[in-house]
Structure 1
Amino acid sequence: MMENRILGAFYGQALGDAMGMPSELWPRSRVKAHFGWIDRFLPGPAENNAACYFNRAEFTDDTSMALALADAIIEHHGAVNPDTIGRNILRWAEGFDAFNKNVLGPTSKIALNAIKQGTPVSELENNGVTNGAAMRASPLGCLLPTHNLDAFIDEVALASSPTHKSDLAISGAVVIAWAISKAIEGRNWETICDELPSIARHAQEKRVTTFNASLGARIELALNVARTARGTESGMEQVYHLVGTGTSTIESVAAAIAMVELAQTNPNRCAILCANLGGDTDTIGAMATAICGALHGVESIDSELKRELDDVNQLDFMRYSRLFMGYRQQREAQNECP
């Protein structure tokens, strides 16, 4: 069952990303005016300068970077190596011509340019607070057990460091990875989301590097908005206006948690709701739907949507889930050793 949930997380990431791609970085009003309601995979509109490079059911940089991270973990047999992660992300960026397209966030672009020039990851400052670390964190949730929070934070911080080292960015990545890992371990959503604010606070306060507001407090606000909303549309409006759906970690990660709640943890519904939310729809969708997929396993992903993802992207997610299951079991066994 655990491997099934890992596979669900990988597919959930891709599903939320690809469904949210056409509307990414557009205001909610423009999403409504252009699309009406997105309930299936669509190609990126020519007039969307972030989505115009992608065809129907293709995922974006969010999942591409998550897989670059996953491939680095596989290359090191389950270990986190930041230089290899940085190299893999740079290789993807150059292959996609991402430096000349509107797909890289500002923090990632600066960091990748430095890596390209030969700067070791350990020497990079990377104190930005955008969501590039959180958007690719799902493989870390598949890899890392939750028996030791500080060790978990340290591994997530190491994996995030090629592009993001700030307290807020790391906290956001920890929140997404922790939620996925707990889901893989079989915890229910109510239990998981109730502990996320304290997890976020601990991660953000472990090594303070910025003067940002509390992600834990924003997650509490997001959950309250989702739980007290009078209907789905009202809930989405409040998430957009109160929580925020921009590219900053403090908005997008909290919004993703709210959308899991608003979708009642259904991955297919979550992907659709996120696509219609406005703002950083593909990233919020990737994070939120990865959590939903981990909660319910790959069978919860609509079979037709899954088939389209497979046909278009030509990836063997089962290979990832099998390998990550093995790496996770190794880590769990090491923890049990006296």
Structure 2
Amino acid sequence: MTLQSRATGALHGLALGDALGMPTQMLSRPDITARYGPFLTGFHPAAPDHPLAAGMPAGAVTDDTEQALLLAELLLDRKGRVDAAELARRLVAWEDDMRARGSLDLLGPSTKRAVELVLAGTPVDEVGRYGTTNGAAMRIAPVGIAVPVAEPAVLVDRVVEASSLTHNTGVALAGAAAVAAAVSAGVDGASVPEAVEVAVSAARLAAGRGHWVAAADVAERIVWATGLVRGLTEAQVCERVYALVGTSLATQESVPAAFAVLAACPDDPWRAALLAASVGGDCDTIAAIAGAVGGACHGVDAFPADARETLARVNPTLQLDATAAALLELRGRT
């Protein structure tokens, strides 16, 4: 399997997981089961009463994919580096565009607060000090493609550079580092279990960065959550993740939740994304993370061709193959 297949698999997995979770995001597990059955089997349009995605067609992506590609564009424009002020400007422009399109799926709470503070003149190194939610983790996959994990400290530095504007807390940086490291390991040829081990190490390294907040340890929760689902049926996995690991926007819930679902389906990233999109809560982000890591480990062909065709047809502006190839050119030079 080629590096290109793995890098493209990461971006396709992210977007596919995001699109699968679009109609189920912020719904409870019982509500999802009542509407769609115990597990999703493919894409669905959002229900007319959906709080965020009403009117969106089956296969449409959300802010998870769009912000990840926004970050990818910035990395490519700046030769692998991220300028915080420019990131803030692009996030503002992105939200303005989303509003113009009538979308309710706008900036998350941590990102919104940070961008408003930057625009009000607050120093860039201070605005992310309260950002604990999963926005950094959801958009970090391009850093994992662009930066090898052979030198973990360098990878964590790049994660901090890309994330601290909005999420400059140990818990959020640990979650983002876990995802980036797992994607990077997958691009290098790691299996899912190997990528999870790399993720845990990176989370431990990043936990000491940024501002301290009272929050559970991301690395330890990944270890616990992946062990929790061992030997369970798929239905039991969804119930345990929903009830015990947690599926909220909190980094210490949603990031371990994604790794738990991956651990339950280590050889099938499409199945992992389907399960992740079925667990409830912030399940578009959980499925996007699971899909990105699983896609990096297994390559783009691990996802059904018809699903990829639907994704491209519904979201014609996505340039996932080209973006992955360009990010790979940065790898080793960042």
Same fold (TM over 0.5): yes
More divergent stretch after superposition (11-20 vs 124-133): 124-133
2:62 paired with 1:60: yes
C-alpha contact 2:53 2:104 (8 A) present in aligned 1: no
Match of 1:183 in 2: 186
Match of 1:225 in 2: 228
2:309 paired with 1:307: yes
Tell me, in whole angstroms, the C-alpha distance in 1 between the residues paired with 2:85 and 2:31. Answer: 40
Q: 5+ unaligned residues in a row in structure 2: which ranges?
A: none
- Aligned-pair distance for 1:237? 0.7
- Aligned-pair distance for 1:146? 1.1
Tell me, what secondary structure is at the counterpart of 1:276?
A: coil
CA 1:270–1:57 in structure 2 vs 1: closer, same or farther (change >3 Å)? same
Superposition pairs of residues 286-301 of structure 1, within 5 angstroms: 286-301=288-303
Tell me, in whole angstroms, the C-alpha distance in 2 between the residues paired with 1:208 and 1:265. Answer: 37
C-alpha contact 2:128 2:165 (8 A) present in aligned 1: no
The two structures have a TM-score, normalised by structure 1, of 0.92
Q: 5+ unaligned residues in a row in structure 1: which ranges?
A: 332-338
Q: Choose the corresponding residue for 1:167, options 170, 179, 203.
A: 170
CA 1:274–1:125 in structure 2 vs 1: closer, same or farther (change >3 Å)? closer
Superposition pairs of residues 257-268 of structure 1, within 5 angstroms: 257-268=259-270
- Aligned-pair distance for 1:115? 3.5
Q: Which has the higher helix share?
A: 1
C-alpha contact 2:179 2:199 (8 A) present in aligned 1: no
Match of 2:96 in 1: 94
- Aligned-pair distance for 1:288? 0.6
User: Structure 2 counterpart of 1:24, which letter?
Assistant: Q
C-alpha contact 1:16 1:288 (8 A) present in aligned 2: yes
Q: Choose the corresponding residue for 2:151, options 148, 153, 161.
A: 148
C-alpha contact 1:222 1:255 (8 A) present in aligned 2: yes
C-alpha contact 1:265 1:295 (8 A) present in aligned 2: no
Tell me, in whole angstroms, the C-alpha distance in 1 between the residues paired with 2:194 and 2:271. Answer: 21
CA 1:122–1:220 in structure 2 vs 1: closer, same or farther (change >3 Å)? same
**Number of residue pairs the alignment of both structures matches:** 330
User: Structure 2 counterpart of 1:271, which letter?
Assistant: A
More divergent stretch after superposition (118-127 vs 202-211): 118-127
Tell me, in whole angstroms, the C-alpha distance in 1 between the residues paired with 2:26 and 2:153. Answer: 34
Match of 2:36 in 1: 35
Match of 1:15 in 2: 16
CA 1:265–1:208 in structure 2 vs 1: closer, same or farther (change >3 Å)? farther
More divergent stretch after superposition (116-125 vs 218-227): 116-125
C-alpha contact 2:129 2:211 (8 A) present in aligned 1: no
Tell me, what secondary structure is at the counterpart of 1:44?
A: coil
CA 1:305–1:238 in structure 2 vs 1: closer, same or farther (change >3 Å)? same
CA 1:38–1:322 in structure 2 vs 1: closer, same or farther (change >3 Å)? same
C-alpha contact 1:131 1:249 (8 A) present in aligned 2: yes
User: Structure 2 counterpart of 1:306, which letter?
Assistant: R
Tell me, in whole angstroms, the C-alpha distance in 2 between the residues paired with 1:313 and 1:277. Answer: 24
Tell me, in whole angstroms, the C-alpha distance in 2 between the residues paired with 1:319 and 1:256. Answer: 26
Counting aligned pairs with the same residue, the percent is: 34
Match of 2:252 in 1: 250
C-alpha contact 2:164 2:210 (8 A) present in aligned 1: no
- Aligned-pair distance for 1:109? 1.4
